[in-house]
Structure 1
Amino acid sequence: MGTSRDPDGAAAVGGRSRPTPPLRWSVMLGWLVGLTAVLAVVGVFLGRETRLAPFLVVVPALVAGRGTVRQTAVASGWATAMIVGALFDAAEDTVGDAVATVVFTLVFNGLSVARAAQRVRKEGEIARLRSAAAALQRQLLRPFPLVTDHLLVHGLYQPVEEDSRVGGDVYEVVASPYGSRVFIADVQGKGLPAISAAFAVLSAFREAAVSEPTLTGVVDALEEAVLRHNSFAAQVGERERFVTALVLNVDAGDEVQAINCGHVAPLLLDDERAAPVLRGEPCVPLGLDALAPEPRTVEWFGFPSGGTLLLCTDGVTEARDPSGAFYPLEQRAAGWGGIRAGDVPATVYRDLRRHAAGTPTDDTALLVLRRRARTDGGLRAGTDGGLRAGTDGG
C-alpha cells in the first residue's frame, strides 16, 4: 500500500483505528466533585445527607463506560469513602442499615470496575482485528509509486479500520507484453467477506493482465473469478457480491483502451479543467454479466503525454458533507491540472476531509496516472517533474 501523506502529515498507510475516546481525568474528577457537591447541597436543604449519599455509586458506573480501569477504581474509591463518611455522621441509621449500604456500595463499585476491565479488553481485541485486516491489505497492495514502461502512477489508499465498515477497494498496475494494464475496483458490501472477494479478483487480474492479449479477455477472467468466489461463498452461507471495476490498457500510442464495469469514470486533468474521458454507458459490474443484454465492449479515449488521468473509488465521489451533499469531484478537480502528479493524492484527500468535516467514513482509493515519455536524455514522466533523465522519481 502507498505512503502518501494525509493533510496532517501522518502517513496514509492503513488508516487509523477508532477506539472509544479516552475519558480525561479532569472530566472524571469534575463528575466526582460536582455530583458530590450537588448531593451535599441538596442533602443540607432536605436534611437527608445519608439517604442521598448512596446515589454516588452511579458515578463509577458512568466512568466504566468510557474510562480506564484505573479511573473506574478511583471513582469507586471516592464513592465508597464519601458514603462511609456520611454513614458515620448519621446517628439515626442502625448498624444493619449501615452494613447493608456499605456492602451494596462495594458490590456495585466492584461490578463497575469489572465492567470497565471487560470493555477495555474487548476494545483491545477489536483494535487488533482491525489492525490485522489493515495489515493484510497493506501486504497485498503494492506501495506507490508504481512504474511501468508507459506509466508513472502515484496514489493513495486509506482504508476505514472499523470492523463493520472495512471495505474491499483494490488497485494494481501491471506491465504486460501488450501494454500497461491498470485496475481499480470496489467490492459491494463491507466487512472481512468484502476483503476476501477483493483479493480474489485482485489475484485474477495479476494473472490475466500478463497472459490475456485483449482487454476483454482480462475482464472475462475477472468475471470468472468473481463467479467462482461467489460460488465458494454460497457454500459457507455468505451472500454473493458484485464488483465495480475499471480496467485500462496503456501502450505507446496516444489512445487508451478502457472497460468500465460500473465503476467511477476516470477524469483527464489539464491546466484548466477536468473532463470525463468515457462517453459510453458503463458495463455491468463483475459478477453480473449474465444479466447484461450484450457483452462488455472496449472504449478508446485520448491520453496525451502532458495529461494526468485520475482514477478513484466511490469512497471519494460518495463522501458527504454534514448537510448530506456528495463530494463534487469533477468540479474540485478542475483546479488540479497544474499540480505536480505526486502531490495530487494528498491534495484530494485533504480536500475530501474538509468536505466530510473529518475522516471519510468509507475506504478511499485514488490513482494518478502520468505517461512516461521518451526523450533524447532518457525516460521521463510527462511534464510533472516527477521523473527525469531516465530515473524513477516519486
Structure 2
Amino acid sequence: MTSTTERPARAARPPSWWDRQGDLLMRRPFSEFTFTHMNWLMPTERVSRGDVHRPLPFESHRLDLTYRFEGTDRTLDELHRRTNTTAFVVLHHGRVIHEYYPGVFAGPRTRMQLFSVSKSVTSLLIGIAMAEGKIDSLHDRVADYRKDFVGSAYEEVTLGELLTMTSGVGGLEVWDVPDSDIKRFEQAAMGGGDLAAVVRATQRRAPAAEAFNYSTLDAQVLGWVLEAATEMTLASYAADRLWRHLGADRDAYYWLTRARPRTALGAGSFNATARDVARLGLLMAHDGVVAGRQVVPRDWVRRSRGSDLPQLAVGALGPSGYPHYGYANQWWTLGSTAFDAFAAVGVHGQYLYIDPSADVVIVKCSAWPTQDDPGRDLETITALRRIADHFASTR
C-alpha cells in the first residue's frame, strides 16, 4: 500500500574515502610518497629492461644559470622550490651533466609516476606497431579493432584523430568537477569500476577532426587499440619492442585498474626512473636510433615534433592547451620544425623536454599541489628552454 504522506528526500551520500582516493593520493604532502610508490598502492605489470644495460656517461656540470620569469631573474634552486621538483636530470650529447633529487623519496633508482608522459610512450608503440604491419593505417577506425565500441561515440573515430586529440568525443578535461569525464575515468580506474564502460558512455561534443581537445580518454582508447592489434598487453609490447633496447637502468611498470580484467592506462600509468625517461628523450632526439638500431621509425619521430594542421599549431589549441604549446602525435610541440623543442608532459608537473638542435634532454618530475597549473607550467618551460639555449650556445 502506498502512503499518501510525502516522505522527505533522502540526503545524498557524502563521498567516501574510496570515492575520493584519487584526490587524496594526489594531494601534497602525500603525493611525494604516492608518486614514487604506485606499485605499493595499485596492481602492476612489469616492463622488463631485458639483458642489455648501457650506463649513461656522467660529466658533472654546475648549472649556475638563471632564467627570467615575470620580470625577475630566478635560479634553478628557485625553480625547484617554486614548482615542487622531485627529480631533475639534464643530458647533453648523451651525457648526464646535471642531476638533482630534491624529492623526499626520490633518487636515481626511484621509479616515478609519469602521468600523461605515458601518452607519448603509447604513441611510440603505435609507430612501432605500424612499422611491423600490426596496424594498417591511421585511417583505421576504433571499431576495426575494438568491436565493443560499436554504437559508442568512438566507433568511427580514426587512429589519426586519437593521436591528434581531435576525436570530438568528451568535453574539456576538468579535474575539479566531480562528475566530469576525467573524474569518472579516474574513479573507475582506481576504485574498481568498469573503465571501458565509462569510456564507451562518453558523448560526442563536436565533429571529428575539426578542433583539438585534450583527452585522456582518446589516449586510453589508443592503448586499447594497440593491445587488440598486437594481441599483447601494453606492458609486454613496450618491454619487447621498446624498453629492452634502451639499455635502461631498471624495469619500468604500468599500474593497472583494480577491476578485472585489469588494464594498464596507456594514457597515464607508466612509471620509470628519471634517468630511463631521459633515455626515451635521447631516442627521440636521435631520430629513433639507439646504439645504431632503429627502434622507432624515423618518420614517426619526425611526425611527433610538429604538425601541419593549423588547429594544432603553437598558440592555436584553444581552451584545452596553453598558448606556448602546439600538439602532434601525442607530444606537445614548441615550434614549427622537426628540430624545434618538444615535450611529453604529465599532470602535477612531469616533463620530458627534448631539444634536438641543442642535443639536450631534460627530465623534471614534480609533485604540484594541483593537476594543472598554468603559472608553474610556463615557468618550467621557460627554465628548460633557458638550459637548452645555454648548452646550444656552448657547442
TM-score normalised according to structure 2 size: 0.22
More relative contact order in 1 or in 2 (CA 8 Å, sep 6+)?
2
Structure that is richer in helix per residue = 1
TM-score normalised according to structure 1 size: 0.22
